Structure 1
Amino acid sequence: MQQKTAFEENDLSLLSVKDHVGTLTLNRPKQYNALSRPMIASVSTILDEINEDKNIHVVVLAANGPGFCAGHDLKEICNNRNEDYLEALFNECSQMMLKILKLDQPVIAKVHSIATAAGCQLVATCDLAVASEKARFATPGVNIGLFCSTPMVALSRNVSRKNAMEMLLTGDIFSSEHASNIGLINKVVKEDDLDKAVEELALKIASKSPLTLAMGKRAFYKQLESGISDAYEYAGAVMCQNMLTNDADEGIKAFIEKRQPEWTGT
């Protein structure tokens, strides 16, 4: 189904914007949204556009068709088995994942079905994830002689080492309930409730100060890279900077005066 978007559409990914929520939809349904190089380029372009759009406070990453994302396009890889192509492919995919992390806006994965390999990596890369009870997750590269090394980066930063290694070493398919239990996703809902659950979560976050969301997201990922002492020093500086913003001043006054805050993003 074609969507009206705030930006130019293309065949491989779509963007719609409503109530400060941008929905980026993967759109290779017949290929289970496999990440070909053109697909990666399409998603990366839209991520750049989202990052510049101050009207978008939250992003939902969704997908059309029977699968969320089947990972890399193996047929494309088989037709281009040379070092230059493969280096470019994995570099471009990694840069796309980093763009999700570096977006000012929080990103919610809306997982309705199977997410494997780089598709599972996408889910792990998003800040939050809500999945249907029918969704399934796997890093199955080991089954075809290809360890999921790049998905491993995001996976190992979201779940415990032993749970990550179990997924990577066995290649098994895991249920959405298991994915929730190990921390890969936030919530499992019934298939018919997925749209509503994601919308409610997105709107709740979109109601917050966009400046505060951006500052908080950047700080969250940066402090993870530091030792605990450096993390506290950095977080304290961010807290001070945040406290001096107009939105923090407005938020505190609104709380004291028992009214809804009016954010300016400054």
Structure 2
Amino acid sequence: MIKKDEFAGNFILRKDSDATVTITMNQPDKRNALSSKMMFHLQTELEKIAKDKNVRAVILAANGPVFCAGHDLKELKGIPDCNGHATLFSQCSELMMRIVALPQPVIACVRGMATAAGCQLVASCDLAVASENARFATPGVNIGLFCSTPMVALSRNIGRKHAMRMLLTGDPVSAQQAWQMGLVSDVVADDALESATMELAEKIAAKSASTIKIGKEAFYRQIEMPLGAAYDYTSSVMTTNMQTTDANEGIGAFVDKRPPTWRHE
């Protein structure tokens, strides 16, 4: 049972806007650190969203000047044994995999610093819109704790040399550098961050939800496959996709030169 001081609103806020949900990390005084409680509430909310067919896009944002500082180091320091540490790092990995497995696309809306597991959080999202003042780092090497789990998501987003430089030096990179590396998809002026992120989310939410779900799952499965296996797999995915209601509607609408009417199935 969640205690009063563990109430979700102390950790995250949810706002629904048509088919888009914005989840905002709400512990600016703790730099939105990924404590076990923060991760619990994020995971719980994402599990609800995964089952909600009315939600077609998700924005992950944060209150305060720091997007996410990674793990709560005081919490890490206070855990008495390796079993506790293993549980915490496993919880973090499950959260990242939940984002990847979510049927809906997840867009990070990043203002300020995203460090260590916070950088991992950005890298785990399908898209990321960054304010021009955003910064990204994996500085664990500076405190004797290599960013090994953040490395998993980071190295699947950017080139090896870029990833190793971030991991070995701990140096932060700018939003523009992050865009050039492929860590973020868009960089916008600070005062345009929320509107630009919502515009992107709404553009995606206007598509067929069933098609987006098929495509997102296929993207992450094929990217780890050898070339031949990837083509075999995606050929079968397209064959299945072709049989859906929305594929037939979309192709028919294109041929008839009219807007499609999605049924999301």
Match of 1:3 in 2: none
Segments of 4+ moved more than 6 angstroms: none
Q: 3-state SS of the aligned residue for 2:66?
A: coil
Report what 1:87 is aligned to. 86
Residue identity (%): 55
| Cα contact 2:9–2:26 (8 A) shared by 1 | no
Matching residue of 1:5:
none
Give the superposition deviation at 1:81. Answer: 3.9
Q: Once the 2 structures are TM-superposed, how far is the Cα of residue 254 of structure 1 from its aligned partner? A: 1.2
Deviation at 1:192, TM superposition (A): 0.5
Give the 3-state SS of the residue equivalent to 1:233 in structure 2: helix
Looking at structure 2, the residues matched to 154 and 55 of structure 1 have their Cα atoms a distance apart, in angstroms, of: 28
Distance 1:169 1:9 in 2: 36
Q: CA deviation at 1:11?
A: 1.6
Alpha-carbon contact 2:8-2:41 (below 8 Å) kept:
no
TM-score scaled to structure 1, two decimals? 0.96
CA contact under 8 A between 1:13 and 1:42: conserved in structure 2? yes
Native 8 Å contact 1:9 1:15 kept in 2: no
Give CA-to-partner distance per residue, 1:160-186, whole Å, 9 cap, x none.
Answer: 000000000000011101101111001
Query: Contact 1:111 / 1:131 at 8 angstroms: preserved in 2?
Result: yes
How far 1:10 moved relative to its partner?
Answer: 2.9
Q: How does 1:212-223 map to 2 (within 5 A)?
A: 212-223=211-222
Please tell me the residue identity of whatever aligns with 2:149: T
* Residue in structure 2 matched with residue 68 of structure 1 by the alignment: 67
SS at match of 1:129: strand
* Displacement of 1:213: 0.3
**Which residue is equivalent to 2:115?**
116
Question: Given the alignment of the two structures, is residue 252 of structure 1 paired with residue 251 of structure 2, yes or no?
Answer: yes
Counterpart of 1:229 in structure 2 is 228
TM-score where L is the length of structure 2: 0.96
Q: Distance in 2 between matches of 1:239 and 1:187?
A: 28
Q: 2: CA distance between counterparts of 1:260 and 1:202? A: 19
Distance 2:74 2:46 in 1: 26
- Residue by residue over 1:95-135, the C-alpha shift from the partner in whole angstroms, topping out at 9 and shown as x without a partner, is 00000000000110000110000000000000000100110
Structure 2 Cα separation of the partners of residues 144 and 9 of structure 1: 31
For the residue of structure 1 that corresponds to 2:257, the secondary structure is coil
Q: Deviations over 1:65-94 (max 9, x none)?
A: 111000000011111141111000000000
For structure 2, the 5+ residue unaligned runs are: 1-6
Query: Residues 162-241 of structure 1 correspond to what in structure 2 (within 5 A)?
Result: 162-241=161-240
One-letter code aligned to 1:232: Y
Look up the equivalent residue of 2:152 and give its one-letter code: V
Take 2:255 and 2:206, find their aligned partners in 1: how far apart are those partners?
18
Per the TM alignment, residue 259 of structure 1 is displaced from its structure 2 partner at its CA by: 1.8
The answer as to whether partners of 1:131 and 1:187 remain within 8 angstroms in 2 is yes
| Paired letter, 2:108 | A
Q: CA deviation at 1:260?
A: 1.5
Alignment RMSD: 1.0
The aligned residue for residue 150 of structure 1 is 149
